[in-house]
Every structure is written in structure tokens, then in C-alpha cells.
Amino acid sequence: MNELTILNIKVRQDAEGRYCLNDCHRASGVENSKRPSLWLENKQTQELIEEMAGKSQSRNSCFDGKQPVSRIRGGNNSGVWACKELVYAYAMWISPAFHLQVIRAFDALVAGKITPPQYAIPKTYAAALLEAARLAEENEQHKVEIALQKAMIDEAAPKVVALGILAAAESDKGVRDAGRELEVGQQWVSAFVLEHKWACKEGRKLKAAHYGRVNGYVRMCPSTYTDKVTGETRVRDDFKITRKGIDRIAHHIAKRKLMNERRNEERSLMEAN
């Protein structure tokens, strides 16, 4: 069976024919600001899913009673899985250029262009030379197509990067602000990121450690400041905790509070007996 391929990235399907939006996100090459989980939180996305889910229950529905979207947490198939119509909607949310690539990928899939071509083995030296020339020409044409695709993506890239910067600026927080939001204080947050290897100390300042960076919990953000001595504007890297990292810490705090509450309840029961 042919597979959907977008910009040389294979997009997996689940047992009900839905496509993996995480694979689509990887094919788009954009950053965290366009990941599927954020798209699902969009109001228009939710309205579209509700409309499609309602129609999936009707007899004449093309969904045959299947849900248009599924979200799996953990395991080998974790991610967001969506029907073809939602793949189009997600691609358009990422960028017009990527939306066009997805349309072409589905057109190629329907037309059966995904199947690798079968080449005949040349029987003579002359035939081999002709075949080599033909393959070289096809390769050049493929390079041209890739260059055009890259140009379209590059054209949309500044807008995508700008949106990513704005999203990051709103969600990333320093240790002090994270401590205020989580209501645990700056020192507690500092101790947590050091204990869990999200950060390391560089002098008196925190620096994003490898584990924290690769998991998307923390990052270093360039910022400008005015030198008090020279008055010049300088650039420095500030330690920031991402929204994913803050959510992870909040989960840890909630789990710890729940355990403490259970211990207190057990202690109260023992004292009562």
C-alpha cells in the first residue's frame, strides 16, 4: 500500500486511517509554536472537530462513525492522529506554503506516484550509458523540484519564525517568574531544575543543561541590557523555563501535594484508631 510522503517524510496512519500530525509537523520543519497539541487548543480547530464529530454519527457520513481525531499519550504511537480533512486544516494553520505541499502529497498518493519506478537492467554497454544519462537528467529535475519546494518554505519562514518568537516570549519564564506562577518561590524552582539536571551552574548563573534542552524544558534566550559602566547596549543569554517545563514542574508539585494529603489522611486514621 502506498504511504503518504510529505517532503520526504513518511506520514504514518493508524488502524482507522487517520494520519499522524506529529509526522506532518516534522515534515514542515517548523518549531514548537506550530506543534499539533497547540493547534488542537485553537478555537476554530475545536469548532471544526465538533462539526466533523457530529457528522460522523450520521448514516451518510464519510467517517463511518469513526472519530476524526485521536490523541494518544505515551507508547510507540503517541501523538495526534487526524483524518485527511484535518490534515489539510493543520497544514494551512502552519503556513500556505506547507499547505500546498500537503495538497500535492495527497494528489500524488491518489495518482499512485509514490510507488518507486521499476528500471530495466541494461543488456549492453551503450544501453547502460543511455540509462545513466536518463537517470542523471531525472536527478537534476528532482533537484530543481526540491529547490522550488525549499524556496516556497523559505519565503514563509520569516513569518513562521516571528510567530514562534512571539509565542515563546509569552510562554517562557525566568526562574523568579516561574516561582511566582507556581507559588513555590524562586529558590525552590532553582533547586528543582538543578536537581533534575535541567540546568547547571556557571558561576552564580543558571545555564540550560543538555537534558533540559533536548526535552524542551529549558532554553537560553538572548536579551539586551545596558552596561552600567560604558552605557553600551550588550547581549547576554538568559536562562528560561519553557511552557512545557513549567507544566512539568506543576505536575510534580501536584503529585507531591497529593502524596502529602494521602499521608496526612493515613496518619489521621491511625491516630483515630
All three cell numbers of 73, joined, read 499519550
> How high is the pLDDT of residue 230?
84
Q: What is the arithmetic mean of pLDDT over 151-167?
A: 49
Average pLDDT, the chain: 78
* Count helices and strands in the chain by DSSP H and E runs: 10, 9
> How high is the pLDDT of residue 123?
52
Burial classification of residue 181, based on how many CB atoms lie within 10 Å of its CB (0-12 exposed, 13-18 middle, 19 or more buried): middle
Q: How confident is the model at residue 164 (pLDDT cuts 50, 70, 90)?
A: very low
pLDDT at 110 over 50: yes
> How high is the pLDDT of residue 211?
93
Angle, alpha carbons 73-79-85 (nearest 5°): 135
The more confident residue out of 144 and 120 is 144
Burial classification of residue 200, based on how many CB atoms lie within 10 Å of its CB (0-12 exposed, 13-18 middle, 19 or more buried): middle
What is the tens place of the pLDDT at every residue in 18-69? 999 999 998 888 677 888 989 998 899 999 988 887 765 554 444 556 789 9
Domain boundaries, the chain: 4-117+136-168, 175-272
- Euclidean distance between CA atoms 94 and 109, whole angstroms: 21
pLDDT at 257 over 50: yes
Angle, alpha carbons 159-161-167 (nearest 5°): 105
Q: What is the arithmetic mean of pLDDT over 186-208?
A: 93
Q: Are 12 and 72 in contact (CB under 8 A)?
A: no
What is the tens place of the pLDDT at every residue in 70-102? 988 877 788 899 999 999 999 999 888 889 989
All three cell numbers of 79, joined, read 501523538
Q: Are 109 and 115 in contact (CB under 8 A)?
A: no
pLDDT at 111 over 80: no
In this prediction, what percent of the chain has a pLDDT beyond 70?
Answer: 72
List, in sequence order, every residue forming a beta bridge with 237; answer none if it has no partner: 222
pLDDT at 205 over 60: yes
Angle, alpha carbons 164-73-198 (nearest 5°): 55
